Amino acid sequence: MQNRITPKIRNLLIIFLVILINSCVPIEKLKYFNDIDELQEPIVNPKKQKLIMPYDYLYIKVFSIDDKTNMVFNSASNLPPSSASTLSGYLVDESGDIDYPFVGKINVSGITPAEASKKLETALSEYVSNAAITVNFLDNNVTLLGEVQRQGIYPFTQDKLNIYEALALGGGISQYGNRKNVILVRQEGDKIMHYRLNLSDSKIAGKDFYYIQANDVIVVEPLKSSSWFTFNSSTFQTLLVSVTSIFSILIFAKNIKLF
């Protein structure tokens, strides 16, 4: 009596092949710039200077020829005890004020760091002569979630950090990440805004959210195929070799009929 491949085995093989086909991801979904050959000219994106907002931390340093002046103003800090930074930092409160030595509260909300420097120099002029003040943002962070290699909160110091550089901080998008479906969460005033980005579109470089702001959250959504097939590459290879071997044995073994 000749052996036959049972309908159950044949159906299992068909299901496996269907899953295998559906789990294959087109290369277009794995590329960032699918339309780069369509660009006719460079994209311009003049990034606007970030304005100081409540709950920002500011690095403020006074430069003076008087060592005592430098020591008094540059040793003051209201950084939280948990901060690893050794720089002098000042928290902008909910009203947009900082509490600076001798001067007291100064409102810096809605202005640039350069404008805040001038405002502080004017306020300190009656206490310190011929002094320059530098103001910069301190403790900028971006949060990476979803299908990235390493989820987490990452600090950055660049004035211009674009979204690709931000993703690189977490090792980049994983093999299951959808480059056409990346969500940017950003607080604008008292509103939490959600933007859906297509990182395979080269024209994103000309948009406002191309550059990251402090405390942005980036969420990389998974590819649909990853819900069908979530094995890592080594597991997939092992499974594929095993199934292929079994299939070959069933086909070429003696007295086996497919139909």
Tens of pLDDT, residue by residue over 137-194, are: 887 889 999 999 999 999 887 777 899 999 999 999 998 899 988 999 988 777 888 8
For residues 180 and 201, state if they share a domain: yes
For residues 151 and 38, state if they share a domain: yes
The helix (H) or strand (E) run that includes residue 3 is strand 3-4
Of 138, 173, 192, the residue that ends a domain is 138
For residues 173 and 247, state if they share a domain: no
Higher pLDDT, 234 or 16: 16
For residues 148 and 43, state if they share a domain: yes
CB 141 within 8 A of CB 214: yes
Mean pLDDT of 212-234: 72
pLDDT of residue 224: 77
Q: Determine the structural domain holding residue 165 and report its residue range.
A: 27-48+140-222
CATH number of the domain that residue 33 is part of: 3.10.560.10
Higher pLDDT, 129 or 10: 129
For residues 200 and 84, state if they share a domain: no
Instruction: Convert the pLDDT of each residue in 28-85 to its tens digit.
Output: 555 555 555 555 566 555 567 778 888 888 888 888 877 777 777 776 554 444 444 4
CB 198 within 8 A of CB 29: no
Higher pLDDT, 164 or 124: 164
For residues 99 and 43, state if they share a domain: no
| Alpha-carbon span 185 to 47, nearest angstrom | 18
Share of the chain above pLDDT 90, in %: 20
Mean pLDDT of 231-244: 58
pLDDT of residue 115: 93
Average the pLDDT over each of 89-98, 193-202, 241-250 and give the range with the smallest value: 241-250
For residues 115 and 176, state if they share a domain: no
Q: Which amino acid is at 181?
A: N
Give residue 213's Cα distance to chain centre.
10
Average the pLDDT over each of 10-24, 99-113, 186-200 and give the range with the smallest value: 10-24
Query: Beta-strand (E) ranges in 81-189?
Result: 89-91, 97-100, 104-107, 132-138, 140-146, 152-156, 177-188
pLDDT of residue 73: 72
pLDDT of residue 253: 55
Q: How many domains does the chain have?
A: 3
pLDDT of 112 over the 80 cut: yes
For residues 42 and 64, state if they share a domain: no
Tell me the pTM: 0.59
CB 201 within 8 A of CB 35: yes
Residues with Cβ within 8 Å of 12's Cβ and at least 6 positions away in sequence, in order, are none
Residue 126 pLDDT grade (very low, low, confident, very high; cuts 50, 70, 90): confident
Q: Which of 61-75, 107-121, 223-237 has the highest mean pLDDT?
A: 107-121
pLDDT of residue 168: 95
| Alpha-carbon span 139 to 257, nearest angstrom | 69
For residues 84 and 124, state if they share a domain: yes
For residues 144 and 41, state if they share a domain: yes
pLDDT of residue 247: 60
Mean pLDDT of 91-112: 89
